């Protein structure tokens, strides 16, 4: 019988956006790892997983069954095998090498030009707008140095004026014009965009679990503009859309019942 692994998005699923792990999920996850492995597949890099999910990474009843898949799974940290061992990088890929230096430079110039357009709007500008995560780029128009207040301010602005959706459509058209058709751009979290080679979405992580029954839980799954969409579709009927950690708790309980019923 194939083993089961349940993959979770992080922001909006196991945590509120850019917030620490929702501790009330600890007990359900401990019940889940008694019958399945679990994984965190996120657009964020490993340092953000450590920052937000630190209590889970250190929990000895969970960590030995926990796979960490940052940057949509283009980086893979296997579970440790003993208490003194940390999560060690097993595999990673390079977006710059994949695209080549000419396309890479063209892409970066295009993002910089897009960032300059934010000057026409009254939004926070906090710094660290473009984050090169090696296998993907995260572009945050307001900047990743934003405080909670500044993030909330941008989210309100974005909901009112649909700023990111407009920019998303504009950039997709620009990528097509520049023959960057092998680059994908998606909405990332509440404030940013994830940009990566086509095919390097979260389904990339599934290559590590070819002999498993893979379940998925994520919050940006129901529209192609969301970065959970492809893996949600790929894992059906073992995939779930969540509105946040509270609903994730209920979904975990449902998954436990379904796994037990399938045995």
Catalytic residue among 9, 201, 219, 228: 9
Q: Is-catalytic flag, 9?
A: yes
Q: Is-catalytic flag, 201?
A: no
Sign of CA dihedral 29, 33, 36, 42: positive
CA neighbor of 183 nearest in space, from 243, 108, 263: 108
Q: DSSP labels for the chain?
A: --EEEEEE-SBTTTBSTT--B-GGGHHHHHHHTTTSEEEEE-SS-HHHHHHHHHHHHT-TTTGGGEEEE-GGGTEEEEPPSSTT---EEEEE--HHHHH-HHHHHHHHHHHHHHHHGGGGS-----S--EEE-SS-EEE-TT-TT--HHHHHHHHHHHHHH-HHHHHHHHHHHHHHHTT-TTEEEEEETTTEEEEEETT-SGGGGGGGGTTEEEEEEESS-SSTTBTTHHHHHHTTTSEEE-SSHHHHHHHHHHHHHHHHHH-
Do 239 and 229 form a contact (C-beta atoms < 8 A)?
no
Residues with catalytic annotation? 9, 11
């Amino acid at each position: 019988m194939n083993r089961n692994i349940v993959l979770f998005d992080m922001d909006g699923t196991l945590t509120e956006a850019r917030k620490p792990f929702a501790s009330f999920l600890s007990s359900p996850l401990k019940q889940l790892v008694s019958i399945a492995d679990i994984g965190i597949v996120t657009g964020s890099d490993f340092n953000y997983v450590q920052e937000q999910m630190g209590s889970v990474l250190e929990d000895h009843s969970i960590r030995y069954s926990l796979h960490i898949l940052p940057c949509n799974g283009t980086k893979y940290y296997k579970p440790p095998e003993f208490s003194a061992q940390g999560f060690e990088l097993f595999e990673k890929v390079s977006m710059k090498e994949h695209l080549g230096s000419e396309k890479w430079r063209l892409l970066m110039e295009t993002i910089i030009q897009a960032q300059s357009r934010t000057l026409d709007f009254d939004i926070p500008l906090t710094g660290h707008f473009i984050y090169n995560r090696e296998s993907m780029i995260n572009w945050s128009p307001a900047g990743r140095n934003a405080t909670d207040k500044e993030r909330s301010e941008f989210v309100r602005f974005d909901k009112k004026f649909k700023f990111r959706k407009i920019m998303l459509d504009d950039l997709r058209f620009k990528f097509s014009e520049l023959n960057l058709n092998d680059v994908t751009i998606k909405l990332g979290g509440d404030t940013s965009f994830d940009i990566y080679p086509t095919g390097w979405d979260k389904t990339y992580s599934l290559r590590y679990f070819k002999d498993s029954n893979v379940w998925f839980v994520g919050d940006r799954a129901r529209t192609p503009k969301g970065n959970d969409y492809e893996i949600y579709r790929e894992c059906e009927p073992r995939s779930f859309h969540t509105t946040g950690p509270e609903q994730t708790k209920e979904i975990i309980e449902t998954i436990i019942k379904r796994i037990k019923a399938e045995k």
